[in-house]
A and B are shown apart, each in its own frame.
Chain A
Amino acid sequence: DAKTTQPPSMDCAEGRAANLPCNHSTISGNEYVYWYRQIHSQGPQYIIHGLKNNETNEMASLIITEDRKSSTLILPHATLRDTAVYYCIVINDYKLSFGAGTTVTVRA
């Protein structure tokens, strides 16, 4: 199974970009990288996903390294409402494995 490694926590200043790293060194060629976030104890919310190209949507940007062994989620202008736990996952077969994620705290 392709596992992911994320820092346990990080702080970000409101209005600044938040860059969230994720390592997935055992990822295989056809596995996508997905990012979700969870605010308080609500159900996780989809943010973005990608295979090998960089992706951008209204919420965030996803930068995947050329060797696909790591990726970075970018929240371009963090707000207080972006305070959440962010999960980076790699879909392998039919099982989904979420780790502990990164707790992001946006400070005013």
Chain B
Amino acid sequence: EAQVTQNPRYLITVTGKKLTVTCSQNMNHEYMSWYRQDPGLGLRQIYYSMNVEVTDKGDVPEGYKVSRKEKRNFPLILESPSPNQTSLYFCASSLSPSDEQYFGPGTRLTVT
């Protein structure tokens, strides 16, 4: 089954404790991206990747890092999480930015 998976689905952590949210797709997609969703603000793109080792900033990259060492994986790293990063996070993949985006199920992160 074609899908995008994210782990963990729920995470509660404390300020400053490094964490990684994993994202994996099995569709051989070139383009992958991360979004955060906050009430009333829609989805805002954090980072995107055009291919392996090619990443770039989206609209809200501050406080986040990403890597793309393999085509299928695109982890999101929070080196020092803060409470304002409490949000619902989505990973997505597609053949290209102008193709249909396939979204993961979301990761709900709470930073206390």
| A interface residues (Cβ-Cβ under 8 A, vs B) | 32, 34, 36, 41-46, 49, 87, 91, 93-101
Q: CB distance B42 to A45 under 8 Å?
A: no
- Chain A nearest CB, measured from B74 CB (Å): 14
Interface size on B (CB < 8 Å)? 29
Q: CB distance B50 to A43 under 8 Å?
A: no
Q: CB distance B90 to A46 under 8 Å?
A: no
Q: Which residues of A contact B37 (CB under 8 A)?
A: 41
Interface residue from B33, B41, B102 paired with A96 (Cβ < 8 Å): B33
Whether, in the assembled complex, B83 has its beta carbon less than 8 Å from a beta carbon of chain A, the answer is: no
Please measure, in the bound complex, the distance between the C-alpha atom of A101 and the C-alpha atom of B35, giving whole angstroms. Answer: 15
A selection of 6 A-B contacts at a CB cut-off of 8 Å is A49-B100, A95-B48, A97-B45, A97-B59, A98-B44, A101-B42
Interface residue from A46, A91, A93, A98 paired with B43 (Cβ < 8 Å): A98
Please measure, in the bound complex, the distance between the C-alpha atom of A93 and the C-alpha atom of B37, giving whole angstroms. Answer: 21
Q: CB distance A46 to B100 under 8 Å?
A: yes
Q: CB distance A41 to B45 under 8 Å?
A: no
Please measure, in the bound complex, the distance between the C-alpha atom of A43 and the C-alpha atom of B101, giving whole angstroms. Answer: 10
Whether, in the assembled complex, B81 has its beta carbon less than 8 Å from a beta carbon of chain A, the answer is: no
Please measure, in the bound complex, the distance between the C-alpha atom of A32 and the C-alpha atom of B43, giving whole angstroms. Answer: 19
Q: Which residues of B contact A97 (CB under 8 A)?
A: 44-45, 59
Whether, in the assembled complex, B92 has its beta carbon less than 8 Å from a beta carbon of chain A, the answer is: yes
